Amino acid sequence: MNDNRLKFRKLAAAAARLADSKKASDIKIYDIADKSDAAYFALIATVGSQPQMRAVEDEVSVGLKRAEGVHALHRDGLLSRTWKVMDYGGLVVHVFEPSARAFYALDRLYDGCARVDWEAKPARGPAAKRSPAKKAPAKKAAPRKKK
């Protein structure tokens, strides 16, 4: 994988984590390099409302600018209530409401493209620790006799 493509793969994973932080669902990254001359990767995410769509769009935009120093080259869907897209050159980020995602069916368009795993994997460590054995309850002391 060339350096530029690797850069956009990392950018796509960062964008996915940012979208996830705003509770976007069904987040998928497709390696579309073999199907597109315009980008290496496409990220698709679903949101449940217009306010959530704005929150995801802002989080991805500001987060990538802050962490990676990149700006969207183009945005589309400014007037749309159901779909937004941000073009970062080698990465295209689509944010849909469920009905628009089904209508545009980009997941079907990218069927056959490799998927990129973006979720952090749990650290490999020793086998799960066993919970300590339960201690027997403390015995109550015998009541004291009054003198």
Q: Where are the domains of the chain?
A: 3-115
Q: Token digits for 73?
A: 């080259």
pLDDT, one tens digit per residue, over 78-125 is 889 999 999 999 999 999 999 999 999 999 999 999 999 998 655 555
- Region 67-86: mean pLDDT is 92
Burial 69-85, CB ≥16 within 10 A → b, else e = ebebeeeebeeeebbbb
Give the confidence band of 13 by pLDDT, cuts at 50, 70, 90. very high
Which of 28-37, 87-96, 123-132 bottoms out in mean pLDDT, i.e. has the lowest? 123-132
Which class for 30: exposed (0-12), middle (13-18), buried (19 or more C-beta within 10 A)?
A: buried
Residue 136 · residue 30 · CB < 8 Å: no
Q: What is the CA radius of gyration of the chain?
A: 24
- Of the candidates 99, 94, 109, the one whose C-alpha atom is nearest the C-alpha of residue 19 is 94
Give the confidence band of 52 by pLDDT, cuts at 50, 70, 90. very high
- Region 52-80: mean pLDDT is 93
Q: Is 61 strand, coil or helix? A: helix
CATH among 3.40.50.150, 3.40.190.10, 3.40.1390.40, 3.30.460.10 for 3-115: 3.30.460.10
Q: Token digits for 110?
A: 């990218």
Record the pTM: 0.79
Question: Which pLDDT score, from 0 to 100, does residue 124 have?
Answer: 58
Alpha-carbon span 18 to 15, nearest angstrom: 5
Question: Which pLDDT score, from 0 to 100, does residue 2 have?
Answer: 85
Alpha-carbon span 19 to 25, nearest angstrom: 8
Residue 104 · residue 98 · CB < 8 Å: no
pLDDT cut 70: percent of the chain above it: 80
Question: Which pLDDT score, from 0 to 100, does residue 40 have?
Answer: 96
Task: Look at 1 and 4; give whichever has higher pLDDT.
Answer: 4
